[in-house]
Amino acid sequence: MTGGIGATAGADPSPNSPAPAGTDNGANWAERALHDMTLEQKVGQLFVADVWGQAPNEKHAGNQDKYGVDTPSDVVRKYQPGGVIYFNHGGTDNIERPKQVARLSNGLQRAAFSTGTGVPLIVAVDQEGGRVTRVGEPATEQPSAMALGAGRDPEAAEATAAVTGSELRSLGITQNFAPVADVNSNPANPIIGSRSFSANPGLAGDFVAAQVGGYQDSGRSTETVSSSAKHFPGHGDAATDSHTSLPTIDRTEQEWREIDLPPFQAAVDAGIDSIMTAHIRVPSLDPSGDPATLSKPIMTGLLREELGYDGVVVTDSLQMQGVREMYPDSEIPVLALEAGVDQMLMPPDLDVAIGGVLDAVDSGRITEQRIDESVLRILQLKHKRGIPEAPMVNIGAVGKKVGTPENRATVQAATDKAPTLLRNDEQILPLDGRGKTLVTGWNNLGFPGYPARPVSSLAAELGDSATALPTGSDPDEATVRRAVNAAGDADTVVVLTNGLAGDAGQRDLLHELLATDANVVAVSVQEPYDPGYVDVPTWLATYDWRDVSMTSLAKVLLGQQAPQGTLPVTIPAGDDPDTTLYPFGHGLTW
Q: Which residues are catalytic?
A: 243, 316
First to last CA, the chain: 66
Residues 561 and 545: beta-carbon distance below 8 Å: no
Vertex 155 angle, CA 179 and 260, to 5° = 40
Number of residues assigned to the chain: 590
- SS (HEC) of 138-173: CCCCCCCHHHHHHHCCHHHHHHHHHHHHHHHHHCCC
- The CB density around residue 306, as the number of other CB atoms within 10 Å, is 11
Give bridge partners of residue 420 from the DSSP assignment: 541
- The CB density around residue 448, as the number of other CB atoms within 10 Å, is 11
Taking the C-alpha atoms of residue 469 and residue 60, their distance in angstroms, rounded to an integer, is 38
Please classify residue 436 by burial: count the beta carbons closer than 10 Å to its beta carbon, then call 0-12 exposed, 13-18 middle and 19+ buried: middle
User: Does residue 231 have a cis bond before it (omega within 30 degrees)?
Assistant: yes
Residues 52 and 16: beta-carbon distance below 8 Å: no
* Amino acid letter, residue 168: L
Residues 278 and 248: beta-carbon distance below 8 Å: no
Nearest to 180 by CA among 278, 107, 106: 278
Q: Running DSSP on this structure, what letter comes out for residue 502? A: G
H-assigned helices in 416-489: 454-462, 477-487
Q: For the chain, what is the total number of helices (H) and then of strands (E)?
A: 21, 18
Nearest to 558 by CA among 470, 441, 453, 433: 433
Half-sphere exposure of 575 (CA within 13 A, CB side): 3
Helix (H, G, I), strand (E, B) or coil at 270: coil
